[in-house]
Structure 1
Amino acid sequence: MSELPAALQTIVEDFRAIEGQEKLEYLLELADRLPPLPERLVPQRQSMDVVNECMTDVFVHAEKENGDRIRFYLDVAEESPTVRGYATILQEGLSGAKLDEILSVPLEFYLQLGLQQVLSAQRLNGIGAILAHMKRVAQGAQ
């Protein structure tokens, strides 16, 4: 198992501490923590990268900060709390990480969260697609 960025590892440990439907409830709580796009990015929203493989529009933007760290901004409709919850996990867990740390996160890391117990295979595929897309966007971050 590859090592996860520290913030993402903390989230994984939080999920490991809860069982069954509590995992879904926690995921839905995380949806409320996804911050809105910063005002400076709102005009660019429609030109941001969109995760096409996900049934819900997920807009992704990445920027370099502090030299070699990546900061992510994600925007997901409030009507999609499951996807917003996962976007929160990824934004909080990967923002501030180095590119090589981000690229080393396995696409199926959600298995470490135990989400396969409470989400359909279709949703899990979407989750992997969001992470894959974030990796591509991170590689082009400026």
Structure 2
Amino acid sequence: MDASNLPAALAETREDFLALAVRDRLQLLLDFSNELPGLPEQYRDHPDLFEKVEECQSPVFIFVEVTDGIVHVYATAPAEAPTTRGFASILVQGLDGLTVDEVLTVPADYAQSLGLAEAVSPLRVRGMTGMLGRIKRQVGERAAA
């Protein structure tokens, strides 16, 4: 993966993971799970706006809004699914506030570049890839509307 075009937050996250031994990467992912931002009040009672990420084994829901060309990403994931919640947190924190073009140029294989294949199941990594794909699709749709 060409990391040169990664947005700063995602590049930094990737570097943080790759700087750690494999066993410590899982702990960093769990740390991220505790940092998933809560939903803004206007979306808490509107589950109908959120899209279920079917690639995830756990119930993960995402919603994207684009305002004046700036992307805002929201996600929910249960506390009892910390790895999935960690992946959602990485994407929310790494993509929120970027421009449409910055989000759309994030490589589809970003999840595979974190060095987590040895720490979590391939299904979990595929779930994060699914989250990113759905976020990018929603961004493209909202930007075109």
Deviation >2 Å, runs of 4+: none
Counterpart of 1:39, as a letter, is: E
Aligned to 2:43: 41
**CA-CA distance at 1:47 after TM superposition:** 3.6
Write the distance in 1 (CA, Å) between the matches of 2:63 and 2:123: 24
Deviation at 1:114, TM superposition (A): 0.5
The structural deviation recorded for 1:55 is: 1.4
Which amino acid in 1 is paired with 2:62? Answer: V
Q: 2:79: which partner in 1?
A: 78
CA RMSD of aligned residues (A): 1.5
Which blocks of at least 5 consecutive residues in structure 2 are unaligned?
none
| Counterpart-to-counterpart distance in 2, 1:73 and 1:86 | 13
- Report the count of equivalent residues: 141
Corresponding residue for residue 12 of structure 1: 14
> Taking structure 2 as the reference length, what is the TM-score of the superposition?
0.90
Note if contact 1:8-1:93 (Cα within 8 Å) is conserved in structure 2.
yes
Q: Aligned pair 1:98/2:106, yes or no?
A: no
Matching residue's letter, 2:50: M
* Percentage of identical aligned residues: 35
- Measure, in 2, the Cα distance between the counterparts of 1:72 and 1:47: 12
1:43-87 per-position Cα deviation (integer Å, ceiling 9, x unaligned): 11244111122111211111123x211010111111110001011
CA distance in 2, matches of 1:92, 1:98: 14
State which drifts further: 45-54 or 130-139. 45-54
Q: 1:120 & 1:58 partners in 2: Cα distance?
A: 17
TM-score, normalisation: structure 1:
0.91
Which residue number in structure 2 is paired with residue 133 of structure 1?
134
Residue of structure 2 in register with 1:62 after alignment? 64
Tell me the distance in 1 between the aligned counterparts of 2:39 and 2:141. 19
80-89 vs 96-105, which moves further? 96-105
Structure 1 alignment gaps of length 5 or more = none
Whether the 8 Å contact between 1:107 and 1:131 is mirrored in structure 2 is yes
